[in-house]
Amino acid sequence: MNSTLKGRDYISLADYDPSSFQSLLDLAIELKEKQKKGIPHASLPGKTLAMIFQKSSTRTRVSFDAAMFHLGGLGMFLSANDLQIGRGEPIQDTARVLASYCDGILIRTFSHQEVLMLGKYADVPVINGLTDDEHPTQALADIMTAYEEFGALKGKRLAFIGDANNVAVSLMHACALTGMEIAIASPAGHHPGDKAMAEYERLKQPGSVLTILEEPKEAAEGADILYTDVWASMGQEQEVQKRMQVFRGYHVNADLLKLAKPTAIVMHCLPAHRGEEISDEVIEGSQSRVFVEAENRLHAHKAILAALL
Ligand code: CP
Ligand code: NVA
């Protein structure tokens, strides 16, 4: 375990450097191997994790809960609607109270600012389980999946097709930290924002190249990984009809996959809307690693918890 990560937050990969990110990746792979061999790794006996969810979740919620159990600790699912924050208690107060009971706080919410505030006031590690802006726990599992597939990642090309919001931004950070190329194809108005672009520039390593495009085919050309995410994220339910029009061409299907390398893999953070951003054929096809990626959330989260708590 990398002792330098103990006590740190995991709110944004923009706060990490290549060696700390690599140490989490190495630990995730080690913990996966141990779990497959049935070797326990109960390094967090007696530790507790408060898990605040203001949005729905299958993978993040269940894998963090299982991760705490595997590590010998306890995960506590807390629906934001049932907490006093749902009735307006300030996050600063919630932060200090939960930090006095628990050894770490995971939060999934809308506002990234709220998570930063939680991190400021809680003197235990705060983990970002997704905000409107970033999804850093997903990106660790994604890079782990790519590493298992390809080994060395430097110069590998990830093509992201679709809405460049939370998932894409954390992938930008992760690709920058690992020297990977990332080509993002999104409709105008849905490209990464200035903040994410500047963070990419600051984090980028030899091998990192960022290309922002509108045409999915250009991004997919020669790619090692085709990655997509839903057209309408949680909280954008009112925009679904409009987004169906705007993103119509941003579809990962067999034709697009043909443009990628023959060895290319397909990834999706899930939940997927088959027939929209990804075809049923591709998600079920031999190049899909979507369910390995989903499994890797568990191992990646164990690594984050074991290192930070
Ligand atoms: N990918 C992901 O975060 O899934 P959940 O929304 O189910 O947690
Ligand atoms: N962009 C999606 C990711 C879900 C894991 C959302 O925010 O809903």
Token reading at 182: 């990332």
Ligand 2 pocket test, candidate residues 110, 234, 237, 240, most atoms within 8 A of CB: 234
Ligand 1 pocket test, candidate residues 140, 269, 277, most atoms within 8 A of CB: 269
Q: Ligand 2 pocket, 229 CB below 6 A?
A: yes
User: CA–CA separation, 309 vs 304, rounded Å?
Assistant: 8
Catalogue the active-site residues: 108, 135, 138, 229, 269, 297
Secondary structure of residue 291 in the 3-state scheme: helix
Q: What is the per-residue pLDDT across 43-95, written as a single tens digit (0 to 9) for each?
A: 999 999 999 999 999 999 999 999 999 999 999 999 999 999 999 999 999 99
- The residue to which tokens 């507790």 are assigned: 48
| Secondary structure (H, E, C), 32-96 | HHHHHHCCCCCCCCCCEEEEEECCCCCHHHHHHHHHHHHCCCEEEEEECCCCHHHHCCCHHHHHH
Amino acid identity, position 130: L
| Secondary structure (H, E, C), 139-196 | HHHHHHHHHHHHCCCCCCEEEEECCCCHHHHHHHHHHHHCCCEEEEECCCCCCCCHHH
**Distance from the alpha carbon of residue 206 to the mean position of ligand 1, in angstroms:** 31
Ligand closest to CA 109: 2
> How many CA atoms does the CB half-sphere of 273 hold within 13 Å?
15
Q: Ligand 1 pocket, 59 CB below 6 A?
A: yes
Q: What is the per-residue pLDDT across 146-199, written as a single tens digit (0 to 9) for each?
A: 999 999 999 999 999 999 999 999 999 999 999 999 999 999 999 999 999 999
Q: Ligand 1 pocket, 170 CB below 6 A?
A: no
Q: What is the per-residue pLDDT across 188-199, written as a single tens digit (0 to 9) for each?
A: 999 999 999 999
**Of 147, 138, 145, nearest in space to 169 by CA:** 138
pLDDT at 3: 62
| pTM for the model | 0.98
End-to-end CA distance of the chain: 11
Tell me which residue has its CA closest to atom 1 in ligand 1.
269
- Residue 159 · residue 185 · CB < 8 Å: yes
Q: Ligand 2 pocket, 133 CB below 6 A?
A: no
- Residue 61 · residue 53 · CB < 8 Å: yes
**Distance from the alpha carbon of residue 106 to the mean position of ligand 2, in angstroms:** 16
